[in-house]
Amino acid sequence: MKLDLLKAKVLGLSGRLQSLLHKAKLAEVVKVVLLFLKRLRSLLLGKGLLFLRYTGSRAVIWVRQIKWARYSLTFIPPVLAVLLSYSFIDDLKYTLEPYISMMEGTLERRTEIGPFPYPDELRPQVEFWKKIFSQYTTKQAVIHDNWYLEVIYTVVDLEGDDLRSEADKRKAVDRAIEKYRGLLEELEKKGDDVEAMTEEEKKIYTLFKKVSENGLDKEAKDRIRGQIGQRDRMLKGIAVSGQYMEEMKRIFREAGLPEELTLLPFVESAFNVYAYSFVGAAGMWQFMKSTGKMYMRIDDVVDERRDPIKATIAAAKLLSSNYKLLGSWPLAITAYNHGAGGLQKAINQVKSKDIAEIIQKYKGESFGFASRNFYPEFLAALEVISDLKTYFGDVTLDPPLQFDEVTIKDYVKMSDIVKYCSVAEEDLRKLNPALREGVFSSRYLIPKNYILKIPAGSRSEFETRYAMIPPPQKYASLDIGKKHKVKPGQNLQAIAKLYKTSVKAIMSANSLKSANRIRTGQVLKIPAKLIPASTGEDDKEDKKES
């Protein structure tokens, strides 16, 4: 087709389409755009359709497709009309990524993912974390700048016969950091003298020129950081999430919260139910003890932070509270890591509620790398988990966890449950992660009226067998458990006699390996007195089990 004829047909058709786009109802616009996308199916690989938002002045095509996952197409009606007309006249010979250069118009990056703003300023952080989650494994350490995350110096391989221990791996990362610190010091001396630079120095110099108008800065050598990849941990977490995700989403829906928030455990723990951090955060939602106690039971016997469902209910309450206090999801999510009070302080200091501005400008002492990156990490997790096939290939999720529930009507040892009720301890551990190790070792009793999860379909048999546990091995109530501060000259024998208990019981309650290893001033837990169910005594108020 000759160019002049093509232009004439384009102008004629685009005029009619422009009129339609200005006057049509939404349904008619959708029909036209769907036809347009049908014509583009070879470019879209047969998938990726789509969301459309149209107002009187702008039409936005939000394409959900592999390589366009972060983009939306935004056009004023005349430009969209021209694009549509080209698609009807002849086969398209150009690509739409990343810009449509054959006409005026824009291809804008996505500014939101569902209800979550996606500021362009945070894009480098989000892209970095997408790589960490989906590309690099725990056998790789990414050496990077901790402010300009797009500056990646190298990737350290943590496999090999000489890298078996964690200490050896740490040393390998430290060596890489020191190497690049030295290179940055050399670059600082050379300034902009590119001719004097080695090839590796030129690469670093160029990286900083791309991310900063001023190029390399003096502080860069102090910002080098190593980040362990997470791909394999994420894959494992994705599989495990199948056991709980359906119920978690239901909890968030009923709380009136976005379901996407259920992906936060991927950021916190890679969905590890048994995760325990060096600062004391526990469970896949990584609640600190002080915060967790506001919503859950946490004591020597039960730690509900480790129960995925109980912790999800607690997380929904905390996130809802954060949102009510702070007014936006970026702030509420960041507050999950940094605390609502800490975020309010940041807002007051920066004088803005814009998350990108807070991340870039707030210099609070405790607002470090983890807090700055928490929301970008969430956006990255949201992207990769929402498009599993693209980032991870074929992934098989575990089926939803199936179980029955029974109410344990007495204080009873776990060993007796296993012995008399014919339930494998392994199954009970998996189904009841909130019960602490002391319960499974029978150092502590299962709390009275505790709702115990057991394998699906076994409730009837369990209840029949539970009735067969000898009455002296069931306890109706507990007397008060006490604490004793060791006085000068006291030993365990004297303390046991004082409280009418045994040395062995005190040692067990305090995890003591030797009866001789107590010291003056040490506070010991004194086991509570057990009252067997067979005595018929009235139940006392349930108190802390021992």
Report the CATH number that the domain containing residue 498 is assigned in CATH: 3.10.350.10
Above 90 in pLDDT, residue 4?
Answer: no
Residue 344, class by beta-carbon neighbours within 10 Å (0-12 exposed, 13-18 middle, 19+ buried)?
Answer: middle
Above 50 in pLDDT, residue 203?
Answer: yes
Above 60 in pLDDT, residue 224?
Answer: yes
For 214, which DSSP code?
A: T
**What would the mean pLDDT of 489-518 be, rounded to a whole number?**
86
**What would the mean pLDDT of 246-255 be, rounded to a whole number?**
96
User: pLDDT tens digits for 273-320?
Assistant: 999 998 999 999 999 999 999 999 999 899 999 999 999 999 999 999
Q: What is the pLDDT of residue 511?
A: 80
What angle (nearest 5°) sits at the alpha carbon of residue 133, between those of residues 127 and 136?
95
505 contacts 487 by C-beta, under 8 angstroms: no
Closest by CA to 376, choosing from 133, 144, 73, is 133
Q: For residue 57, what are the CA distances in angstroms to 19, 24, 250?
A: 12, 12, 38
Contacts of 433 (CB under 8 A, 6+ apart): 273, 274, 306, 307, 308
Residue 127 in domain: no
Shared-domain flag, residues 86 and 43? yes
Above 90 in pLDDT, residue 476?
Answer: no
Shared-domain flag, residues 329 and 363? yes
Helix axes 199-211, 166-190, angle to 10 degrees: 80
Residue 121 in domain: no
Total number of domains in the chain: 5
Between 40 and 340, the more confident residue is: 340
Residue 268 in domain: yes
Confidence of residue 17 (pLDDT cuts 50, 70, 90): low
Shared-domain flag, residues 296 and 388? yes
Q: What is the pLDDT of residue 314?
A: 98
Shared-domain flag, residues 249 and 388? yes
- The per-residue pLDDT of the chain, averaged, comes to 82
Shared-domain flag, residues 255 and 388? yes
Residue 89 in domain: yes
What angle (nearest 5°) sits at the alpha carbon of residue 118, between those of residues 115 and 119?
135
Shared-domain flag, residues 324 and 446? no
**What would the mean pLDDT of 449-458 be, rounded to a whole number?**
97
Asked which of 475, 496, 511 is the last residue of a domain, the reply is 475
Shared-domain flag, residues 382 and 246? yes
Shared-domain flag, residues 278 and 374? yes
Give the other-Cβ count within 10 Å of 147's Cβ.
Answer: 18
Shared-domain flag, residues 330 and 418? no
Provide, rounded to the nearest whole percent, the portion of the chain with pLDDT above 70: 75
Asked which of 228, 261, 288 is the last residue of a domain, the reply is 228
Residue 337 in domain: yes
User: Considering Cα of 340, then 149, then 113, then 130, what sign does the dihedral take?
Assistant: negative
Q: Which residue has the tokens 């076994």?
A: 458
Q: How far, in Å, CA of 33 to CA of 52, rounded?
A: 9
Rounded to a whole number of angstroms, the distance between the first and last alpha carbons of the chain is 88
DSSP string, 173-208: HHHHHHHHHHHHHHHHHHTT-GGGS-HHHHHHHHHH
Asked which of 69, 90, 110 is the last residue of a domain, the reply is 110
Shared-domain flag, residues 147 and 184? yes
User: Cis bond leading into 98, ω under 30°?
Assistant: yes
Shared-domain flag, residues 92 and 190? no
Instruction: Look up residue 178 and give its amino acid.
Output: E
Contacts of 107 (CB under 8 A, 6+ apart): 71, 73, 74, 96, 97, 98, 99, 100
Query: 23 lies in which domain range?
Result: 3-110
Shared-domain flag, residues 381 and 439? no
Contacts of 508 (CB under 8 A, 6+ apart): 443, 527
Q: What is the pLDDT of residue 223?
A: 96
User: pLDDT tens digits for 96-127?
Assistant: 333 222 233 333 445 667 789 999 899 999 99
**What would the mean pLDDT of 359-374 be, rounded to a whole number?**
94
Contacts of 460 (CB under 8 A, 6+ apart): none
Residue 457 in domain: yes
Confidence of residue 214 (pLDDT cuts 50, 70, 90): confident
Closest by CA to 312, choosing from 339, 332, 285, 290, is 285
User: pLDDT tens digits for 152-185?
Assistant: 999 999 998 788 889 999 999 999 999 999 999 9
379 contacts 122 by C-beta, under 8 angstroms: yes
What pTM does this model have? Answer: 0.72
Residue 220, class by beta-carbon neighbours within 10 Å (0-12 exposed, 13-18 middle, 19+ buried)?
Answer: buried
Residue 173 in domain: yes
**What would the mean pLDDT of 338-357 be, rounded to a whole number?**
96
218: its two tokens: 């003096």
Above 80 in pLDDT, residue 39?
Answer: no
